[in-house]
Amino acid sequence: MDIRINVDSIAPFVNKNIEKKLIEEAVEANKSLYEKTGKGNDFLGWVNLPLLVNESDITEIEVVSQNLREIADVIIVTGIGGSYLGAKAVIEALHSSFDAYVERNNPKIIFAGHHLDEDYLAEMLDFIENKSVACIVISKSGTTTEPAVAFRIIKRHIEQRYGKTGAKERIVAITDHSRGALRKLAEQEGYRTFVIPDDVGGRFSILTPVGLLPISVAGIDIRILLKGATDMEKASDTGIAASENICLRYAVARNLLYNSGKKIEIFANYNPKLHYLTEWWKQLFGESEGKEGKGIFPAGVDFTSDLHSMGQYIQEGERILFETVISIKKPHEELVVPEDAENLDQLNFLAGKRISEVNRMAELGTMLAHVDGGVPNIRIEIPELNPYVIGQLIYFFEKSCGISGYLLGVNPFDQPGVEAYKKNMFALLGKAGYESEGEKLRERIK
Ligand code: PA5
């Protein structure tokens, strides 16, 4: 495997006596993911998913993707949570930070429906006004408010410009095979649709059309991504020894730390392209584990930027933290610090060194400082950012999350807590059926 995990620094912080038991439980947890004997077992379609995506599924995605790429300069991916973060994470990780892909004849991918900000949607309409545009609208339930509101606006824009017939060519819906308002709307309007399998929950759906279609329209080879995920699935199945199974080792390490009072996991990167991988990871673990009054709180930082903001707290604040660092061995480009004859900034000691070496020393120095300050460190090392490695990473985190949730004793595949805000929002907005709740809530916010 291209991904390696290093948990050496956690030893002084954890109770080694429970390690053996946790490993045994993790082996059982991995088994029950395959045998579907644990909690939430009707949402385990993701476990074998990379192997199950077949040639005709991939070809269909590629054909639709190619068509969208040909007819649009801007593609609006509309969705929230699991229907948005995976694609966003992969595209950001693999595109140039300055959108060079646009220059290489890739359309610009923008996102909508992941919040309710009026200015954002208005600015988006301005941005797309004179550009040819298409939309991929994604919602498993087909009833989520944020993407539904955004899609209503985007649909009207597309219909006004291209008519109902043009809209059929420019709008693709990804949703449940039969349920939900989006399915009904898509059928009525005659949109091209893709199905999100019943047994794959939102945050585990990146390797379904939910992630694959937007990633493909961004010009990224989804076959290579899937190959990476498939290889990680094979490297973490029940036949692999616990000591060799990096998903299991990560799940055990974070639960050992949790049991020793480390309640917050900070996911750290040293490469800004991984910002949204962090966001995806936060959703994956936060929504899967944070329930029944339990669960590690997943936080994220972008280093070295955040060493100048959160660094102080991490070094000396409450000792309830541990860090998981994504460490990339090799950048794609090569750039050195130049020599300067005057050396006014006194940086000539770095002259000739690659920026990546400076970044690496920042990473290693930070790790040692944080460990010395009482913040244990898990390192996930990857060789470079490419679709194959990202595919491995996706499956690595999904599998680790499934195992870790079972170690915690929760159902990692539901999200009952998400309904609370929706209920209040509908009640406050006066949706039919929420009248008496609305009255009570309005009293409280007078
Ligand atoms: O992981 C999940 O299930 C959630 O985060 C959903 O992805 C999110 O709420 C969006 O749901 P939907 O795809 O039904 O619009």
Question: What residues does each domain of the chain span?
Answer: 4-40+227-408, 49-223
Residue 308 designated active-site: yes
On the question of pLDDT at 391 being above 60, the answer is yes
State both tokens at 74.
Answer: 């801007």
Please report which helix (H) or strand (E) contains residue 139, including its range.
strand 133-139
Q: What is the per-residue pLDDT for 106?
A: 84
Question: Measured from the CA of 81, which atom of ligand 1 is nearest?
Answer: 5
Strands (E), 280-411: 297-302, 321-328, 377-382
pLDDT number for residue 294: 97
* Best mutation site among 80, 175, 205, 285 for ligand 1 pocket (most ligand atoms within 8 Å of CB): 80
Of 290, 297, 324, 328, residue with least CA distance to 416: 290
Average pLDDT score over the chain: 95
pTM: 0.96
Residue 422 falls in the annotated catalytic set = yes
Q: Which residues of 365-375 are buried (b: 16+ CB within 10 A; e: fewer)?
A: ebbeebbeebb
Question: In whole angstroms, what is the distance from residue 230 CA to residue 41 CA?
Answer: 21
From 131, 177, 422, 423, the catalytic residue: 422
Fold that domain 49-223 belongs to in CATH = Rossmann fold (3.40.50)
Structural domain 4-40+227-408, CATH architecture: 3-Layer(aba) Sandwich (3.40)
The residues lining ligand 1, judged by C-beta closer than 6 Å to any ligand atom, are 80-83, 139-141, 144, 147, 201-203, 287, 415
Q: Is 330 a catalytic residue?
A: no
Which of the listed residues 46, 111, 141 should we mutate to test ligand 1's pocket, taking the one with most ligand atoms within 8 A of CB?
A: 141
Q: CA angle at residue 430 from 424 to 432, to 5 degrees? A: 100
Q: What is the pLDDT of residues 126-171, one digit of tens each?
A: 999 999 999 999 999 988 999 999 999 999 999 999 999 999 999 9
Spot the catalytic one: 16, 21, 308, 332. 308
Intrachain domains 4-40+227-408 and 49-223 with the same fold: yes
- pLDDT(101) > 70: no
pLDDT at residue 103 above 70?
A: no
- pLDDT confidence bin for 104, thresholds 50/70/90: low
